[in-house]
Amino acid sequence: MARLLLRQGRVVVRVAAVVAAIGLSASPGAAVEPKVTIPGAVPPTPQVERLSDEQVRTEFRRLSTMKIECGTQARRALAAQQTASAAGRASEAEAQGQLLWTRMTCLEEANQGLVRLRNQATRDQLPLLSLGDGLRQEYRRGLQSHLTTLQQVSKQLADPSAFTAATFATQMDTLRRQWGTFRNRYIRLLNDPETQGLAASLFQAGDLLIGSAQVWGRQVKAEAEIAELSRNGSGPQLERAQAAREAAVTERARQWELAQRLILQATTLAATH
């Protein structure tokens, strides 16, 4: 009888402890929620709903589209903010800054959603989330590498006396071959909405620089003709050579200025990816 009472007493104590814990946790003024361990009790394992393959594909497409759209809008807002700020339009720059913040928040939500989806997907479903992702990452690294190359060229242009038309032509010929190989390898990704703006800025800047090497070559040729014709005094041929030289100098300066602007734009775009 004593043993029975003792066992009942223990049960009463344990039940009282659980009731007290529930009461404290439900009480609005409770500052501390005591942890109660019930011998033999096993906490339930959280159940995560398993998504079907179609659900995974649909959600992946939704989040990916959201990421692309928010990223594109963020880049546009950043460009608009910088333009307004440079022009002294403070209120417009502030408005674009707020828009940039909301779009970056949207981008972060999409990234977090993709992480959750990856964690929720089964091992067999992971390929549904990474189809072509490896090639895309490789493409992005290639774009970044080309940006670094163009940034170095842009620094060179600040001091044209540091190199000659011949060395610049050799450098641009190498760049032209690299561009061709890169475009052929990643031709399917050239119009990828997420990197299309960055790629377009890089390719346009590169094409301008490559073209400027040819223009510089025409300038050098005209200067050689001017030196030769000047020995015989003035004449129509000399005037044509001088005009050709001035045209080449003007065109090359325009190409370099525009290329440097595009390189700066690509730098800004790369910072938002």
Same domain, 218 and 189: yes
Do 22 and 73 reside in the same domain of the chain? Answer: no
Domain check: are 141 and 263 in the same one?
yes
Boundaries of domain holding 119: 51-131
Asked whether residue 114 is assigned to any structural domain, the reply reads yes
Arithmetic mean of pLDDT, 217-232: 88
Looking at the structure, do residues 261 and 182 belong to the same domain, yes or no? yes
**Same domain assignment for residues 113 and 234:** no
Q: What is the structure's pLDDT at 2? A: 42
How many domains, in total, are found in the chain? Answer: 3
Tell me, yes or no, whether 61 and 24 share the same domain. Answer: no
Question: Across all residues in the chain, what is the average pLDDT?
Answer: 80
33 lies in the same domain as 65: no
Residue 23 binned pLDDT confidence (cut-offs 50, 70, 90): very low
201/68: higher pLDDT: 201
Given a cut of 50, whether residue 237 has pLDDT beyond it is yes
pLDDT above 50 (res 22): no
Q: 3-state SS string over the chain?
A: CHHHHHHHHHHHHHHHHHHHHHHHHHCCCCCCCCCCCCCCCCCCCCCCCCCCHHHHHHHHHHHHHHHHHHHHHHHHHHHHHHHHHHCCCHHHHHHHHHHHHHHHHHHHHHHHHHHHHHHHCCHHHCHHHHCCHHHHHHHHHHHHHHHHHHHHHHHHHCCHHHCCHHHHHHHHHHHHHHHHHHHHHCHHHCCCCCCHHHHHHHHHHHHHHHHHHHHHHHHHHHHHHHHHHHHHCCCHHHHHHHHHHHHHHHHHHHHHHHHHHHHHHHHHHHHCC
Q: Report pLDDT for 214.
A: 95
Taking 60 as the threshold, does the pLDDT of residue 72 lie above it? yes
The answer on 93 and 167 residing in a single domain is no
Q: What is residue 137's predicted lDDT score, i.e. its pLDDT?
A: 76
Instruction: Tell which of 131, 155, 182 closes a domain.
Output: 131
The whole-model pTM stands at 0.53
**pLDDT value at residue 1:** 45
Domain boundary among 89, 105, 131: 131
* More confident: 36 or 124: 124
Model pLDDT for residues 95-124, shown as the tens digit of each residue: 999 999 999 999 899 899 888 988 888 887
The pLDDT of residue 98 is 93
The pLDDT confidence band at residue 263, using thresholds 50, 70 and 90, is very high
Say how far apart CA 195 and CA 226 lie, in whole Å: 46
